[in-house]
Amino acid sequence: MKLRKAKIKDVKDIQNIINAFAAGGEMLPRALNELYENIRDFFVIEDQGKIVAGGALHVSWEDLAEVKGFAVVASHHRKGLGSMLLKACLKEAKELGVKRVFALTYKPKFFKKHGFSEIDKTELPHKIWNECIKCPKFPDCDEICLVYSIGI
C-alpha cells in the first residue's frame, strides 16, 4: 500500500469511492469539478496501482482546516488506511501551521479514537457560511462536528 498526494488522474476514482458511500447516506456526494478544484488537498492510498482510499485536508481560515472526503473502499476496511490518511493530514496541518483541524462526520468514533473532541457546529462560523450554507441538508445537518488541536 502506498500513501501519496493525489494527482489529476485520481479524481474519478476518488469521486467513485466517495459517491459510493454517499449513495448509502454515509457521506455527502462530491462533484467532479469540486474534486478537480481541490485536488491538491487530497491524499490517496494505492494498492497494486488501484486507488482504495482518499481523504483531504482543506484549509478554511488562518488557524483552521478541515479533514474531508475520507473514504476507504469496503474491501480495505479494518486495515488502518483511514488512520494512515488522517495522520498524513494532521502532519500536513502541523507543517502548515494550522492550529485546529475539524471534521463533520457520521463516524465520530473513528475521529475520537484519534484525539478529536466533539463540538457544536456553531463554533465554526467560517465553515457554516462558506460551504454548509450550500448543502441540501442545511440548516438541519445531522453530521457530528469534531475538532483536533495541534500542538505547534
Q: What is the pLDDT of residues 64-97, one digit of tens each?
A: 999 999 999 999 999 999 999 999 999 999 999 9
Q: What distance in Å separates the CA atoms of residue 113 and residue 3, rounded to the nearest whole number?
A: 21
- For the entire predicted model, the pTM comes to 0.89
Q: Are 53 and 45 in contact (CB under 8 A)?
A: yes
Q: Are 70 and 86 in contact (CB under 8 A)?
A: yes
Note the pLDDT tens digit of each residue in 127-147. 555 555 555 665 666 788 899
Residue 136 confidence (pLDDT): 61
For the chain, which residues make up each domain, given as ranges?
2-149
* Percent of the chain whose predicted confidence (pLDDT) is above 70: 88
pLDDT of residue 46 exceeding 70, the answer is: yes
How long a stretch of residues is the chain?
152
In angstroms, the Cα distances linking 87 to 79, 130, 150 are 14, 26, 12
Q: What distance in Å separates the CA atoms of residue 111 and residue 7, rounded to the nearest whole number?
A: 26
Which option is the CATH number for 2-149: 3.90.1200.10, 3.40.630.30, 3.40.640.10, 3.30.390.10?
A: 3.40.630.30
